[in-house]
Structure 1
Amino acid sequence: MENRPPPLSETELEELAAQLRCPDGENGLKVGEMMNFTNSNMIAKAIVGLHLTEGDEILEIGPGNGMHTKEIIYSAEEINYRGIDISPAMVKEAQKRNKGLSTVSFQLTDGEKIPYGECRFSKILTTNTVYFWNDPHAYANEIARVLKPGGIAVIGFIPESTMRHIPFAKYGFTLYDIETVARLMETAGLEVVSVNTEKEFVTSERQIEREFVIFTAKK
């Protein structure tokens, strides 16, 4: 028989959910590494969805420890990248991992306002953050505000149909289906360009099949 670790207690699930929202301390660094592993396919597909071209100004919301930042900036010539995160631990780790890259910077943010001026970015990327937006409509408006006319925003997320079967998701996660995200973006003045749904197998406590969405909207 396969030896499986015992399931997490409710307290452990709640602690994990809190770390996924805002990684902190040594456990936060471990969670950051775990997220790199479990979300690598989603992140890669989201980056492809940006259709990066020379001179793009990129904003990533919630880059975690910045493991995939080099993949973004080396996808085309003269890409400028800005990452914002609500976790001091992740900002510090991302800065360390990407030290010396002159076109890359990371900044701590409050998760309410995006600390850049209007029409700043040609491409915006975020994966697995939408569940944690305190005021989703206000934050969608922030994304639209800093996006250049003709620019695109790519949002990667796990839909409600999958998330409701994940034990930790009942602690502090707001669950979304595709239609809700579409309404959110459209209300902010963005046009839905494409919605791609994929399935994959990931391993955490055990191997599970999950669905994820790569959602693209245009200003």
Structure 2
Amino acid sequence: MSPEQLAAQLRHPNGEDGNKVADNMDVRNRPVILAAYQALAPANGDRILEVGPGSAGHLPRLLAQANNLHYTGLDASRDMVLRARERYLGETRAAFIHGELTQAPLAPASMDRIVAINVVYFWQPLLPALQVLNLLLRPGGTLVLGFRDHNSMASLAVFKHGFSTYHGPELQQALEQAHFTNTPLHTFAEDSVDVLGETMHKQSVILTARKPQEATP
């Protein structure tokens, strides 16, 4: 698979290649996924939205963090939605829906917490996507973004095809523009082999934000 083909599969996994990419991402992204879930810190009964979960390989870890959670996975890949539904058939706490974030078939203020891991690269333009996330959160709700920073990604061929990369502080500023507050940023180092077989020295970022209790005028 060429870097351009792999980039397309990372954006919208489909077919047998998409399944292989999704399985690889479940393994290779495990540290940042689990760190983002931990930062989300759900409370009992919370309604959680995950944007771009793919086939949601680590969902059981999230559902084990609190009681009576209500999880919705929104993914732009129809194949991933179908695969996740099959994977978690009978799991009454989880639902998976197909759609783009900016046209999400979800009610305003319907979520207590939202998490999005390694998908911020595809939100172009960025601000409208962040504004939708703000709209979907209840007042006082929490957003967690997990991603690898610009220096970890920019030199790799696959990330030159339709990815926007970030250092972190510019995302904090964009979140403030979208009327989020309290945006702490945590980083940690990872060393792993990427999907092209190259060793990556990565810096992962966990960015947490809150929607104010009172709506911003």
TM-score range, shorter chain: over 0.9
CA contact (8 A) 2:127 2:178 kept: yes
The one-character-per-residue Cα deviations of 1:93-141 (angstroms, maximum 9, x if unpaired) are 1111111011210000024222211111111000000110132111100
Opposite residue 160 of structure 1, the aligned amino acid is H
What's 1:214 paired with?
A: 206
In structure 2, what is the Cα distance between the partners aligned to 1:97 and 1:200? Answer: 28
Cα root mean square deviation, aligned: 1.2
In structure 2, what is the Cα distance between the partners aligned to 1:149 and 1:209? Answer: 38
What's 2:138 paired with?
A: 148
Q: CA deviation at 1:208?
A: 2.1
Gaps of 5+ in 2: 212-217
What's 1:183 paired with?
A: 173
Opposite residue 56 of structure 2, the aligned amino acid is G
Query: Of the candidates 16, 30, 38, which is equivalent to residue 48 of structure 1?
Result: 38
> 2:107 aligned with 1:95, yes or no?
no
Q: CA deviation at 1:160?
A: 1.1
CA contact (8 A) 1:82 1:104 kept: yes
The one-character-per-residue Cα deviations of 1:73-105 (angstroms, maximum 9, x if unpaired) are 121110000000000111111111111011210
Sequence identity (%): 32
The one-character-per-residue Cα deviations of 1:47-88 (angstroms, maximum 9, x if unpaired) are 000111101110000001111112111211100000000001
What's 1:166 paired with?
A: 156
- Secondary structure of the 1:83 match is strand
> 2:64 aligned with 1:113, yes or no?
no
Normalising by the residue count of structure 2, what TM-score does the alignment of the two structures yield?
0.93
CA contact (8 A) 1:112 1:134 kept: no
Gaps of 5+ in 1: 1-7
> 2:56 aligned with 1:60, yes or no?
no
> 2:118 aligned with 1:122, yes or no?
no
Q: CA deviation at 1:206?
A: 3.0
CA contact (8 A) 2:152 2:200 kept: no
In structure 2, what is the Cα distance between the partners aligned to 1:140 and 1:157? Answer: 15
> 2:69 aligned with 1:79, yes or no?
yes
CA contact (8 A) 1:132 1:172 kept: yes
Q: Residue 154 and residue 174 in structure 1: after superposition, are their counterparts in 2 closer, same or farther (change >3 A)? A: same
What's 1:22 paired with?
A: 12
